[in-house]
Amino acid sequence: MIHYLKGARPKSESDHVFIRQVPPYTEFNPGAVGALVRYHLLKSGIHLEGKKKGSHVLRHSLARRLLEHEIPLPVISEILGHTNTETTLTYLRINITELRKCALEVVI
């Protein structure tokens, strides 16, 4: 990211971080970003059968990683730009393996 911002990003007045590499140096539209993400997922051999494959997968991945590192939910919400933590909860799927570690033993 630092490399991109310091040298690879074309000079532009745009406030957007990622912009087109050829003139006019304007922001990507959401469809173009999703297409880039899908292209690079396939190119890297990552197959997400039956799952979302656009740029939103990156937001979900970031939210899960932050939670795994025990970042508090309000902080994750702020990073994702959510005003309500309820919105953030939709990004955080339950990890059954981790949940089982919390379970109490059942004595019969």
Report angle CA 57, 72, 53 to the nearest 5 degrees: 5
Distance CA 83, CA 88 (A): 9
Domain ranges for the chain: 1-50, 55-108
Read out DSSP for 72-107?
A: -HHHHHHHHT-SSHHHHHTT----HHHHHHHPPPPP
pTM of the model: 0.61
Span 66-105, pLDDT tens digits: 988 989 999 999 999 999 988 888 877 766 677 778 878 8
Span 6-63, pLDDT tens digits: 889 999 999 888 898 899 999 988 788 888 888 888 898 887 776 666 777 888 889 9
